[in-house]
Amino acid sequence: MQIGELIKDWPCTMKGSIRVEIKRVEDDANLILPGDAFIARKGNNSSGISYIDSALEKGAAAIVVDDENYFNEADLPVPIIWVPNCLSFIAYASAKIYNFPAEALTVIAVTGTNGKTTVTHFIGQILNQLDKRAMVIGTNGVFIDREKCYPEMEALTTLQAKNIQFLFKEAIRLDVPYVVLEASSIGLEKHRLDHCDIDIGIFLNVTEDHIEDHGSFERYKLSKQILSTLAKKNIINSDDSVCRSIGLATKGKRIFFGKGSHVDYFFQTLVDGPASTTCCIQHKKEKHIVNIPLVGDYQCSNVLAAISCIAQLDFPLSDICNTIGNLVLPEGRFEHVENQLGLSIVVDYAHTPDAMKMILQTLKKHTKRRLIVMFSCGGNRDKAKRPKMGMIASIYADYIILTTDNARNENPQQINKQIREGFSSTQEYIECLNRKEAIEHALNYAEKGDTIVLLGKGHEKTQQIGDKQKYFSDLVFVREMIRQLEKRRLNNH
């Protein structure tokens, strides 16, 4: 595509030939290929302008900046374009180069502090059971019909616009008509979902998280609210007060779900069992009794969000409800680890106060004996939530093991000290900074009938300490430890 065609509908100023051919747009100088336009956007720690020489050496055919002074002074061997906002432009340019692929798809975007991964996967699974192909994009990776693919994609909740548009084009090529993706507050604020032609936006919940990234809770809420302007139709959790306020402020079509009054899709828990929940799902005068193979009101709410979404795609509610008994949680979400030790062991990604409260409430309700909780908090992130998570853990846990999460550039002992500020004075706990040793301690400390929950990492396969990432998986290591303990006990008998 010629530069002139790429920028003709976008506000910009240009120096150089409009006839230069552009193959792709790219904002990482290391990934530039000959014929690419390099988008010199501002990063968290540096500016893309610093990498223009590198991009030119690799064959960049054009440079895009949003620094007016640099544009005015620059004398480059290739065309240079000034745009008001590089992040907004890369979303538009990526969509245009791929010929706006989202217009040929049904795109569903799910936002919320907690539950995005679970709900996107539920929607994908229901569509599959209704004989429809679906791509799911989010924290756990990219999946087509539940098979993981495109492992080279970077691990982001909401991918960069250039990658989203590429995947939309792939969905068309592979004849996958539905794309379900997670919409993070940061992804929305950084324009990654602009020009995605979103058919349905889903709002699950909005509680405190990423406050340091956004500056305040109000700005965090406003970033979430962007989805309501991008989606043609919005599905809102009426049980969450912030979501409800967003829904009431939304001008487009909106659908409400929840267990309260005045909702379009309603659920009532009939039987709350240790391994499943029986609910009544109601829409207008239509009622269905469904057995959800999950526990906890928050999981029922996640299921109802998925049901409401699929129903808005004009599938019969009765057909949708017939699929619910087969739903499976994504990896690292309330994942039970099988064992012969007489223990209930759960691995979960919960890393916010609200998510922690929901899972610990549910586990405490169904724990036969003691609840043993292992967790910490991530470094360089939301320090205010640490004592809150400590308080929540202390309310529900009989025994707490403080360990190390992705400490990044903070001292894990200092992180844990801030967590302990929320503990009750009688809380029994131990600090074990080595995460492997913490899991080993949990298994050795536990007795038959106890529940162990390993929080914070879920599906993750790496741990970041300082600037280095090393391989680590709670799921892999706890299974390895269980096998050793089972073998040891078998030999002792």
pLDDT at 493 over 70: no
Q: Is 117 annotated as a binding residue?
A: yes
pLDDT in tens, 391-421: 999 999 999 999 999 999 999 999 999 999 9
What are 474's two structure tokens? 């709670």
Which part of the chain is CATH 3.90.190.20?
A: 335-492
Model confidence band, residue 212 (pLDDT cutoffs 50, 70, 90): confident
What are 231's two structure tokens? 């989606």
Q: Is 187 annotated as a binding residue?
A: no
The SS3 assignment for 219 reads: helix
Q: Is 115 annotated as a binding residue?
A: yes
CB atoms within 10 A of CB 188: 23
Whole-number Å distance between alpha carbons of 299 and 280: 14
Q: Average model confidence (pLDDT) for the chain? A: 95
Please give the class, per CATH, of domain 335-492.
Answer: alpha beta
Residue 192 confidence (pLDDT): 97
Q: Is 184 annotated as a binding residue?
A: yes
Q: Calculate the CA dihedral of residues 323, 329, 334, 340 and round it to 10 degrees.
A: 90
Residues 91-113, mean pLDDT to the nearest whole number: 97
CA proximity to 7, closest of 85, 74, 70, 92: 92
Backbone angles phi, psi at 337, to 5 degrees: -105, 115
Whole-number Å distance between alpha carbons of 388 and 372: 18
Compute and round to an integer the Cα radius of gyration of the chain: 24
Residue 488 confidence (pLDDT): 87
- In whole angstroms, how far apart are CA 380 and each of 77, 383, 469? 41, 8, 15
Whole-number Å distance between alpha carbons of 41 and 192: 13
Q: Is 158 annotated as a binding residue?
A: yes
Please give the class, per CATH, of domain 101-326.
Answer: alpha beta
- Is the CATH code 3.40.1390.10 the one for domain 3-86? yes
Q: Is 116 annotated as a binding residue?
A: yes
Total-model pTM: 0.94
Least confidently predicted of 171-185, 208-222, 362-376: 208-222
Whole-number Å distance between alpha carbons of 70 and 78: 15
* DSSP string of 404-465, one letter each residue: -S--BTS-HHHHHHHHHTTS-TT--EEE--SHHHHHHHHHHH--TT-EEEEES-TT--EEEE
Q: Is 192 annotated as a binding residue?
A: yes
Which part of the chain is CATH 3.40.1390.10?
A: 3-86
Which part of the chain is CATH 3.40.1190.10?
A: 101-326
CA proximity to 400, closest of 361, 436, 426, 368: 426
CB atoms within 10 A of CB 173: 9
Residue 156 confidence (pLDDT): 87
Q: Is 139 annotated as a binding residue?
A: no
Q: Is 462 annotated as a binding residue?
A: no
CB atoms within 10 A of CB 183: 30
Whole-number Å distance between alpha carbons of 146 and 294: 19
